[in-house]
């Protein structure tokens, strides 16, 4: 379940902190550079698992790609470290969360806000393409926001480089997320990585402005039929300029699809356009990628036990609290969030031990096994779902004396199944969830 609360872990010059994300093959933890005090994010992969699942080449590709791209709208790679058992990819720490969560919260964006994010997205994608890098999995979940609200592309795990092109000059690996993938990728006859990425950008722009997907069917074949025909409708609030541009991007024939140089000259796109500002590029001080699997170039993972009289929830400082909220508006941390996606939070004035017990009490009747360690829990579904076993990581943090924040996030399994589980679980937690005065006055449950 991760590092126990009473254990501090250091890898090289980095002291590892809270887990901020989990996937099937990797965990992301916030960390502090002890030499500079800088906050970073470290993606941690288990070497044995990487090799067992034949992911070595994919990992090398991700690292190679991130070494090539240095742009203000792309999450920056600082360095890559390895111990005997793990690989540590040290990344820029982006505090504003996923663009996906902003869409969920706002339902849809104002056109000018959507355009600004789209301009930054196109800037970064154009830069990648100029270096022969094709992302191949562009979607709001892989777009992060910094403290200033600027977009940052992340997760180059499915990216392709020039050496991945076949003799016909095309890519042939079908990959990506179905709702965002271009028709020629599904067609399995080879595709141009640049035009395929651009299609995904068009879907993202539509989602930002509409609050829902242009192509969305529960049946995969019906979904593909709609994508092949570019069969979608515009909401009434779309401007004619936006509709015109999206129609030219979501053109099912890649040869007729608009190209980035044309987008940059489009009148709707150019409104309030601000080109990316590049800082002077530093040479990336990275060990050779092969060193990741070389026994001669290893860092030590050092653990030390923290001295304290009793186990207590981790104290959340102001920086961490603000990084989870929108500006200074903290109300979002203490309200029932609808719709729930991959993570959620609520506050409670109940004692921390009571919170843990109540979550366990609510989860077990729903068919979940509960594993506890101090004020962390992992809830494991007994059945295998669409994407394997549903796993939910939970931790209680102390925000202030007698005020705690509970963070829950999907650590594995299907997002829709997590949403349904969270809804059922919440019913059993209502009497410990802190409600603000307005909710109490309205009698909201």
Residue positions forming the annotated binding site: 43
What the block records as the tokens of 417 is 């199944």
Give the residue numbers of the binding site for ATP.
Answer: 43
Indicate which residue of 46, 113, 126, 137 is catalytic.
137
Task: Please report how the helices 193-210 and 240-249 are oriented relative to each other, as an axis angle in degrees rounded to 10.
Answer: 150
Strands 388-400 and 314-315: parallel
Longest dimension (CA), the chain: 68
Nearest-angstrom CA–CA distance, 20 and 116: 27
CA 133 to CA 162: how far, in whole Å?
7
Give the DSSP per-residue string, 134-202.
B-S--SGGGEEE-TTS-EEE---TT-B-GGG--TTS-B----S-GGG--HHHHHTS-B-HHHHHHHHHH
3-class SS at 403? strand
1 three-state secondary structure: coil
46 contacts 86 by C-beta, under 8 angstroms: yes
Active site residue 414: no
Q: Are strands 151-153 and 388-400 parallel, antiparallel or unpaired?
A: unpaired
Torsion angle defined by CA atoms of residues 349, 353, 355 and 358, in that order, rounded to the nearest 10 degrees = -140
Minimal CA–CA distance to 248: which of 228, 270, 230, 235?
Answer: 230
- Residue 397 pairs in a beta bridge with 314, 405
Structure tokens given for 83: 């111990």
> Is the omega angle on the peptide bond into residue 339 within 30 degrees of 0, that is, cis?
yes
At 101 the three-state DSSP class reads helix
153: nearest Cα among 98, 214, 208: 98
Q: How far is residue 445's CA from residue 435's CA, in Å, rounded to a whole number?
A: 9
**How would you classify the pairing of strands 86-92 and 143-145?**
unpaired
Which tokens hold the place of 279? 């800082």
Contact 202, 250 (CB under 8 A): yes
**Nearest C-alpha neighbor of 368 from the set 385, 355, 351, 354:** 385
Q: Which residues are catalytic?
A: 137
């Amino acid at each position: 379940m991760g590092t126990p609360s009473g254990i501090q872990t250091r890898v090289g010059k980095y002291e590892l902190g809270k887990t901020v994300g989990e996937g099937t093959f990797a965990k992301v933890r916030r960390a502090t550079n002890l030499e500079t005090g800088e906050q970073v994010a470290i993606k941690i992969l288990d070497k044995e698992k990487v090799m067992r699942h034949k992911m070595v080449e994919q990992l090398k590709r991700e690292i190679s790609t991130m070494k090539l791209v240095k742009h203000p709208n792309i999450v920056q790679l600082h360095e890559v470290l390895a111990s005997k058992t793990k690989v540590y990819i040290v990344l820029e720490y982006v505090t504003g969360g996923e663009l996906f969560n902003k869409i969920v919260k706002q339902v849809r964006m104002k056109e000018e806000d959507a355009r600004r994010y789209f301009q930054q997205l196109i800037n970064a994608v154009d830069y990648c393409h100029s270096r022969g890098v094709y992302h191949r999995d562009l979607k709001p979940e892989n777009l992060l926001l910094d403290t200033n609200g600027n977009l940052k592309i992340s997760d180059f795990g499915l990216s392709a480089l020039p050496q991945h092109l076949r003799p016909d000059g095309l890519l042939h690996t079908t990959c990506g997320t179905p709702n965002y993938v271009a028709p020629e990728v599904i067609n399995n006859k080879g595709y141009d990585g640049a035009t395929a990425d651009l299609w995904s950008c068009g879907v993202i722009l539509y989602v930002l402005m509409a609050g829902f997907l242009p192509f969305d069917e529960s049946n995969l074949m019906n979904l593909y039929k709609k994508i092949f025909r570019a069969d979608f409708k515009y909401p009434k609030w779309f401007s004619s300029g936006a509709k015109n541009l999206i129609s030219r991007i979501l053109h099912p024939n890649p040869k007729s699809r608009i190209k980035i140089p044309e987008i940059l000259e489009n009148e709707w796109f150019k409104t309030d356009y601000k080109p990316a500002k590049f800082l002077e590029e530093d040479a990336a001080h990275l060990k050779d990628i092969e060193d990741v699997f070389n026994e001669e170039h290893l860092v030590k993972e050092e653990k030390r036990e923290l001295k304290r009289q009793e186990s207590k929830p981790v104290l959340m400082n102001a920086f961490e609290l603000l990084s989870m909220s929108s500006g200074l508006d903290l109300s979002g941390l203490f309200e029932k969030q609808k719709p729930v996606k991959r993570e959620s939070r609520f506050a409670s004035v109940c004692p921390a031990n009571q919170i843990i017990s109540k979550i366990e009490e609510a989860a077990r009747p729903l068919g979940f096994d509960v594993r506890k360690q101090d004020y962390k829990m992992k809830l494991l579904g007994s059945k295998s779902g669409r994407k394997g076993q549903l796993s939910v990581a939970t931790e209680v943090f102390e925000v202030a004396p007698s005020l705690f924040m509970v963070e829950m996030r999907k650590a594995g399994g299907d997002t829709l199944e997590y949403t349904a589980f969270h809804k059922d679980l919440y019913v059993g937690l209502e009497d410990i969830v802190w409600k603000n005065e307005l909710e109490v006055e309205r009698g909201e449950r």
